[in-house]
């Protein structure tokens, strides 16, 4: 009986010790270190959850979604400057048969433009074409194309030094040139120029254009309405006044019968 009482007292004592240990209040310094916003080790603060708005922006209320509207856009263009005007100082129309004409002009203020339009001669001849692939056999056709003897050449050289050629170009395969019927050539050198027109089996119209300002002391001699025109502010090396027309493809007409 005595032993049972002693065991009971020991059990009660153990229970009281366990209960007492669960009610111990932690030290104040540890409780402080676990406050919200701090780490549990060393007391270093954590990064804030949000960043405050910088002072150089302003928070505003967003607009309600609306359908966008477009305003008409007007492109403003400035009027051409008077110094950009070119005037025709020479024009000629001639039928060439190995003949040449020439004019001279002291170009003080380039560029100078030479525009020409040519009307070459055509040749028509018959040829035989074999249509073995299509099973039609040989057929006689008529070919109509520009004459290989039809050509036109523009030469711009120094009047004082004839061997100094600034430009030489024109129309015709016989001279190794292209087959454009209308072109404008550009001369950018400053010199006393001699301009020569030369050709064969062809009719050509040519004109020479320069800026009055810088080349003439008196510009009142020009009719600004009929003899002058504005070129582009930054024209290409070949500025076309009229629409160029390339050589037409030769026509082939099968002979009937």
Domains and CATH numbers, the chain: 82-243 (2.60.40)
Contact by Cβ (8 Å): 197, 154: yes
Higher confidence at residue 116 or residue 249?
Answer: 116
Higher confidence at residue 28 or residue 11?
Answer: 11
Specify the DSSP element, H or E, that contains 99: strand 85-107
Whether the pLDDT of residue 205 is over 90: the answer is yes
Task: Give, rounded to a whole angstrom, the gap between the first and last alpha carbons of the chain.
Answer: 150
Tell me the β-bridge partners of 192: 106
pLDDT digits over 102-122, tens only? 999 999 999 999 999 999 999
Question: What pLDDT band is residue 14 in, cutting at 50, 70 and 90?
Answer: low
Whether the pLDDT of residue 242 is over 50: the answer is no
Rounded to an integer, the average pLDDT of 230-249 is 43
What pLDDT is attached to residue 222? 85
Which of 54-63, 125-134, 216-225 is modeled with the greatest confidence? 216-225
What pLDDT is attached to residue 124? 83
Which of 12-21, 78-87, 110-119, 142-151 is modeled with the greatest confidence? 110-119
- CA 84 – CA 106 distance, rounded (Å): 19
The CA angle 172-202-144, to the nearest 5 degrees, is: 70
Which residue matches tokens 């493809």? Answer: 249
Q: Average per-residue pLDDT in the chain?
A: 73
- CA 201 – CA 150 distance, rounded (Å): 5
Tell me the β-bridge partners of 99: 199
Output the pTM of the full model.
0.56
Rounded to an integer, the average pLDDT of 203-208 is 96
SS3 39: coil
What pLDDT is attached to residue 5? 59
What pLDDT is attached to residue 94? 96
Q: Which two tokens stand for residue 242?
A: 């009229």
pLDDT digits over 30-85, tens only? 444 444 444 444 445 445 555 554 455 455 455 454 454 544 544 444 444 555 78
Q: For the chain, percent helix, then strand, then coil, each to nearest 5?
A: 15, 40, 45
Higher confidence at residue 195 or residue 14?
Answer: 195
Higher confidence at residue 20 or residue 151?
Answer: 151
For residue 210, give Cα distances in angstroms to 90, 124, 169, 216. Answer: 10, 40, 19, 10
What pLDDT is attached to residue 56? 53
SS3 248: coil
What pLDDT is attached to residue 152? 97
Whether the pLDDT of residue 178 is over 50: the answer is yes
Which alpha helices (DSSP H) does the chain contain, by range? 2-22, 28-33
SS3 22: helix
Q: Lowest-pLDDT range, 38-42, 149-153, 177-181?
A: 38-42
Tell me the β-bridge partners of 9: none
């Amino acid at each position: 009986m005595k032993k049972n009482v002693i065991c009971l007292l020991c059990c009660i004592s153990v229970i009281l010790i366990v209960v007492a240990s669960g009610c111990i209040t932690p030290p104040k310094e540890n409780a402080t270190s676990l406050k919200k916003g701090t780490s549990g080790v060393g007391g270093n603060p954590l990064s804030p959850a949000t960043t405050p708005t910088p002072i150089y922006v302003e928070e505003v209320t967003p607009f309600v979604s609306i359908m966008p509207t477009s305003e008409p856009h007007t492109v403003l263009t400035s009027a051409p400057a008077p110094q950009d005007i070119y005037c025709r100082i020479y024009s000629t129309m001639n039928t060439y048969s190995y003949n040449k004409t020439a004019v001279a002009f002291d170009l003080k203020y380039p560029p100078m433009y030479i525009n020409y339009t040519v009307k070459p001669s055509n040749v028509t001849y018959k040829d035989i074409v074999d249509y073995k692939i299509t099973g039609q056999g040989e057929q006689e056709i008529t070919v109509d194309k520009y004459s290989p003897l039809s050509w036109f050449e523009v030469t711009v050289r120094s009047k004082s030094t004839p061997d100094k050629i600034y430009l030489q170009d024109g129309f015709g395969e016989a001279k190794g040139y292209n087959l454009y019927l209308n072109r404008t050539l550009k001369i950018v050198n400053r010199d006393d120029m001699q301009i020569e027109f030369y050709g064969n089996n062809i009719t050509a119209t040519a004109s020479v254009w320069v800026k009055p300002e810088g080349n003439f002391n008196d510009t009142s001699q020009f009719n600004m309405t009929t003899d002058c025109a504005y070129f582009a502010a930054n024209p290409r090396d070949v500025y076309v006044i009229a629409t160029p027309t390339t050589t037409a493809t030769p026509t082939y007409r099968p002979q009937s019968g």
